Structure 1
Amino acid sequence: MRQSNMEITVQRKRFTPKSTISDVSFDGNFAGHILEDTDRGLSQAMPLSEIQERKVHGKTAIPTGRYEVAISYSNRFGKMLPLLLNIPGFSGIRIHPGNLATDTEGCLLPGLSFGENKVLDSRAAFANWMLRIQGALRKEKVFITITK
């Protein structure tokens, strides 16, 4: 019998000119926060040309929408990391540890708590999330939905 998918929900809540901080839930249960680059109002439903027009390379949060998550080897980080698939206008978007907006070029940085333009305890949050995503992928698909 087919299991249901794991659903990760990212609700963007805190916006500054330098970063976006969201609340994160795994299957409806609060799991921490995510730090991203500046939200420039992009949506998965927009034409690609509009996404590319608004995007500032390395300083833009990915479009809101629902994306499948896989785990693959990152050459940049030299280890296995979650990868978000098929994001219009973006590639190589991963979930990885980091604390500041300057630590991301569109990627999602996990944290257990947050401050202005930063998340804290990122390695601890990442280790927990990685185990949960790996476990889920053994039996089901994993999706992440980013909303405002």
Structure 2
Amino acid sequence: MKSVLQVLRKQQGKNSTLSEIYLNNQFICYGLEDIPRPKKIAGSTSIPVGIYPLGFNKDGGMNGNYYDRFPKLHRGMIEIKSIPGFSYVYIHIGNTHKETAGCLLVGTGYLLEKEDYRLVQSVTAYKKLYGMLVEMMEKGEVFIEVTSEGVTQ
């Protein structure tokens, strides 16, 4: 069974990109990334538009921190794999573009503050999305599709 997580970019702030996230066409939460850049700046560039497989990464300090924080839920960091020129790109908790490190943050809502987007209730959104993704990933392949509607590339 193949499932698709859709990241539809909707708005761009000065340093942030806001998206809506759908799982098999059902709205789940909002997403936040850095802005797109013509030339990648490590830890400060959004994920390129495209379709990528998701997988578990069970290495590194972030994995240990999430396991300690969510021992009954955590099975490994959900990594967005096979992004040309990118590595260790995760879906994780955070509120502002300063916390993305080039990854995708999730939240139940958002605010616009000082020309940038900020997510709210990131832990709530993460736990909901993570649980759904783990269940689907255990049954088969899951892909993420990143598209831009309201954001220039």
Task: State the Cα deviation string for residues 16-71 of structure 1 (Å, max 9, x = none).
Answer: 12100101100000011100011226xxxxxxxxxxxx112221101010000012
**Counterpart pick for 1:32 among 29, 34, 42:** 29
2:91 pairs with 1:95: yes
> TM-score, with normalisation over the residues of structure 1?
0.86
Query: Map of 1:51-66 to 2, 5 A cutoff?
Result: 54-66=39-51
SS in 2 for 1:67: strand
Check conservation: 1:15, 1:39, Cα contact below 8 A.
Answer: no
2:15 pairs with 1:18: yes
Q: Which runs of 5+ in 2 are unaligned?
A: 68-75, 149-153
CA RMSD of aligned residues (A): 1.1
- Deviation of the 1:137 alpha carbon: 1.2
Q: Percent identity?
A: 31
> TM-score, with normalisation over the residues of structure 2?
0.83
Q: Rate the CA distance shift 1:112–1:74 in 2: closer, same or farther, 3 A.
A: farther
Q: Which runs of 5+ in 1 are unaligned?
A: 42-53
Aligned length: 133
Query: Map of 1:1-148 to 2, 5 A cutoff?
Result: 3=1, 5-40=2-37, 54-77=39-62, 78=64, 79=67, 80-116=76-112, 117-148=117-148
CA distance in 1, matches of 2:128, 2:56: 14
Does 1 or 2 have the higher relative contact order (CA < 8 Å, sep 6+)?
A: 2
SS in 2 for 1:86: coil
SS in 2 for 1:17: coil
Displaced runs of 4 or more, over 2 A: none
CA distance in 2, matches of 1:35, 1:136: 23
CA distance in 2, matches of 1:119, 1:103: 11
